[in-house]
Structure 1
Amino acid sequence: MPRRGSALEIAARLGFGARGVVYCLVGGLALLAAFGAGGQTGGSRNALRSLLDQPFGRALLGAVALGLACFAAWQAIAALLDADRHGTSAKGLAVRAGQGLGGAINAGLALSALSLALGWGSGGGPEDQAARDWTAWLMTKPFGQWLVGLVGVAVAGTGLVWLWKAWRGKVLDRLSLPADARPWAQSMGRLGFAARGVVFVIIGGFVVAAALHSNSREVQGLGGALRTLETQPYGWALLGLTAAGLLAFGIFGFVQARYRRIDPPEARDAARAIDRGIDALRR
Structure 2
Amino acid sequence: MVDKSEKVVWLARLGFAVRGLVYMLLGYLALTTARRDNVDDGAGDVFAFVAAIPGGTIVLFAAAAGLAGYALYRLSAAVFDIERRGSGFKGIAHRIGYFASAIIHFAMAWTAARMASGARKVADDRSSAVAGNVLDLPLGPTLLAVSGLALIAAALLQAKSSVTAGFMKSVSSAAPAATCWIGRAGHAARAVVFALIGWSLLRSARSESGGEVLSLGGAINDLRDMGAAFSLVAAGLVLFGLFSLILARYRVIPDPSPRRLKF
TM over 0.5: yes
Q: Does 1:88 align with 2:87?
A: yes
**Hey, what's the Cα distance between the residues in 2 that align with 1:141 and 1:52?**
34
Distance in 2 of aligned mates of 1:92 and 1:170: 14
Is the counterpart of residue 191 in structure 1 residue 191 in structure 2?
no
Q: Distance in 1 between matches of 2:221 and 2:12?
A: 32
2:129 corresponding residue in structure 1: 133
Q: Aligned partners of 1:161 and 1:252: how far apart in 2?
A: 17
- 2:108 matched residue in structure 1: 109
1:278 matched to which residue of 2? Answer: none
**Local SS of the residue matching 1:48:** helix
Unmatched tracts of structure 2, length 5 or more: none
Match of 1:268 in 2: 259
Distance 2:80 2:86 in 1: 10
CA separation in 2, counterparts of 1:69 and 1:162? 21
Q: Provide the aligned length of Structure 1 versus Structure 2.
A: 256
Answer yes or no: is the 8 Å Cα contact 1:41–1:226 preserved in 2: no
Q: Which residue of 1 aligns with 2:42?
A: 43
> Counterpart in 2 of 1:255?
246
Structure showing greater Rg: 1
Alignment-mate amino acid for residue 62 of structure 1: F
CA distance in 1, matches of 2:257, 2:200: 42
The gaps in structure 1 that reach 5 residues or longer are 275-283
Shift in Å, 1:76: 2.5
Determine which of 164, 171, 176 is the counterpart of 2:172: 176
Cα separation, partners in 2 of 1:46 and 1:32, compared to 1, 3 Å: same
Q: In structure 2, the residue corresponding to 1:178 is in which secondary structure?
A: coil
Identity of aligned residues (%): 33
**In 2 relative to 1, CA 62–247 (structure 1 residues): closer, same or farther, beyond 3 Å?**
same
- The one-letter code sitting in structure 2 at the alignment partner of 1:239 is F
The one of 220, 227, 231 aligned to 1:226: 220
Query: Match for 2:221: what amino acid?
Result: R
| CA distance 1:187–1:74, shift in 2 (3 Å) | same
Partner residue of 1:240 out of 231, 234, 240 = 231
1:8 aligns with 2:20: no
Q: CA deviation at 1:255?
A: 0.9
Distance 2:141 2:258 in 1: 41
Could you say which residue in structure 1 is the equivalent of 2:120? Answer: 122
Q: CA deviation at 1:143?
A: 4.6
Report if aligned partners of 2:82, 2:260 keep a CA contact under 8 Å in 1.
no
Shift of 1:52: 1.8
Measure, in 2, the Cα distance between the counterparts of 1:81 and 1:150.
20
Provide the residue aligned with 2:55 in structure 1: 56
Q: List 4+ stretches of structure 1 deviating above 6 A.
A: none
- Cα RMSD (Å) of the superposition? 2.4
